[in-house]
Amino acid sequence: MNDKKKILIVDDDKFLLGMYSLKFEKGGFEVKVALNGAEAIDMLVNGFKPDVLLMDLIMPMMDGFVMYENIKKENLAPDAIAIMLTNQGQVSDINRAKDLGIHGYIIKATTIPSEVVEEVINIYNKNKK
């Protein structure tokens, strides 16, 4: 039985996707990545069930909020812990994330990648009780 936690990382920055993929794989996660919200939703529709959904906010076509609203509406990842990983630190964005039921909010600019992995694990453990 594979007991690795599954994470879906959604970000339009290929460099960051590669870097975070590596960090999370080293942290014991099974990692899938998507470059935009539509790609992420396709993966979920096609049966991928992540334990953690880590999403950027600012992306082309569909921002992280709209993507997460669609995922919730379609009940595509009902058990996933949803976390925003973004450079948008405005209180209005953080409050909107909370209102949507997003479990955590990490600001990229103030968090190094290894801290992001730690923070994601902390948020996951806190919400999976």
**What are the start-end ranges of the E strands in 1-129?**
5-10, 29-34, 52-55, 81-86, 104-107
pLDDT the model gives residue 129:
63
Residues near 15 by beta carbon (within 8 Å), at least 6 away in sequence: none
State which residues form the domain around 117.
5-127
Query: What is the share, in percent, of the chain residues with pLDDT greater than 90?
Result: 93
Arithmetic mean of pLDDT, 7-14: 97
Q: Indicate the number of domains in the chain.
A: 1
pLDDT the model gives residue 2:
56
* Predicted TM-score (pTM) above 0.85: yes
Q: Which helix (H) or strand (E) holds 1?
A: none
The CATH number linked to 24 is 3.40.50.2300
Residues near 5 by beta carbon (within 8 Å), at least 6 away in sequence: 28, 29, 30, 51, 52, 124
Query: What is the share, in percent, of the chain residues with pLDDT greater than 70?
Result: 98
Distance CA(104)–CA(3), nearest Å, equals 23
pLDDT tens track for 55-76: 999 998 899 999 999 999 999 9
Arithmetic mean of pLDDT, 108-120: 94
